[in-house]
Amino acid sequence: MSEPALPGPLAGLAPLLDEYGYAAVALLVLLDNCGIPAPGQTILVLAAVYAGAGHLDLAAVVGIAFAAAVLGNSLGYLIGSTGGRAFVHRWGRYVLLTPARMERADGFFARHGGKVVTVARFVDGLRQTNGIIAGTTEMPWRRFQPFNVLGAALWVGVWSAFGYLAGANIGAVYRTAVRYQLWLLVAVGVLCAALAARQLLRHRRRRREHADHGS
């Protein structure tokens, strides 16, 4: 079967996937999930497109990407739990995890760590750092790992299905996604703002209730 016409960043990664196949998927997905900015999501979509075109086996792509995602996030957790604050202060800026961001993340992660780990892979920046944050904030390993596995399964499943089903139509799908990505970002921003406002209102309500009980 002929290779589909590849748009944008997918075309740039095609030679790497042609040369190294499944190994490229494993390495880039692992790096992308353990704190090192790498095109792991892009290589996953591209590998699924190749599988749809008959050049790779979809089950192998899914299995390798899933294992690499779980392992990568687990390595990030170990980095955070062993290096902790020292890692953040020395190296965090290279993975978009500054000390100021870490301080803001502590309280939120303590309350919503499981949900963050589950959905983080769908957000650039969080995909690379959520494992490190979980380890640094001392989220228990037994609590972290089920959410890590669930998040990896959802992320790999969604993007593998997207690439595989898009197949030869990936060019048109990509152009449509680019056309509407601004609206998607706006929607995500509005949702995040609403959640933040909700948490702020809850916090103020608790402070008022505490003050009333103390008076």
Residue 119 in domain: yes
- Which of residues 40 and 7 earns the better pLDDT score? 40
Residue 3 in domain: no
Task: Lowest mean pLDDT of 4-13, 63-72, 75-84, name the range.
Answer: 4-13
* DSSP code at position 137: T
Task: Lowest mean pLDDT of 162-166, 191-195, 197-201, name the range.
Answer: 191-195
CA distances from 90 to 7, 82, 119, 125, 135 (A): 37, 14, 27, 18, 16
Beta strand residue intervals within 10-145, DSSP E? none
Cα–Cα distance, 199 to 162 (Å, whole number): 33
Report whether pLDDT(190) > 90: no
Cα–Cα distance, 84 to 107 (Å, whole number): 16
Let me know: does 88 contact 99? Beta carbons within 8 Å: yes
Report whether pLDDT(72) > 60: yes
pLDDT of 154 reads 92
Cα–Cα distance, 152 to 127 (Å, whole number): 10
HSE at residue 101, side-chain half, CA atoms within 13 A, is 15
HSE at residue 44, side-chain half, CA atoms within 13 A, is 32
Structure-token pair, residue 113? 């760590």
Structure-token pair, residue 153? 């399964």
HSE at residue 135, side-chain half, CA atoms within 13 A, is 23
pLDDT of 83 reads 74
pLDDT of 186 reads 66
The domain in which residue 125 lies consists of: 8-169
Residue 157 in domain: yes
Let me know: does 7 contact 168? Beta carbons within 8 Å: no
For residues 107-135, average pLDDT: 81
Q: Which helix (H) or strand (E) holds 106?
A: helix 99-119
pLDDT of 205 reads 78
For residues 98-115, average pLDDT: 69
Task: Lowest mean pLDDT of 80-84, 159-163, 175-179, name the range.
Answer: 175-179
Number of H helices, E strands in the chain: 8, 0
Residue 176 in domain: no
pLDDT of 24 reads 94
Residue 129 in domain: yes
Cα–Cα distance, 68 to 28 (Å, whole number): 9
Domain count for the chain? 1
Residue 204 in domain: no
Mean pLDDT over all residues of the chain?
Answer: 78
Report whether pLDDT(35) > 60: yes
Residue 76 in domain: yes
pLDDT of 204 reads 74
Residue 215 in domain: no
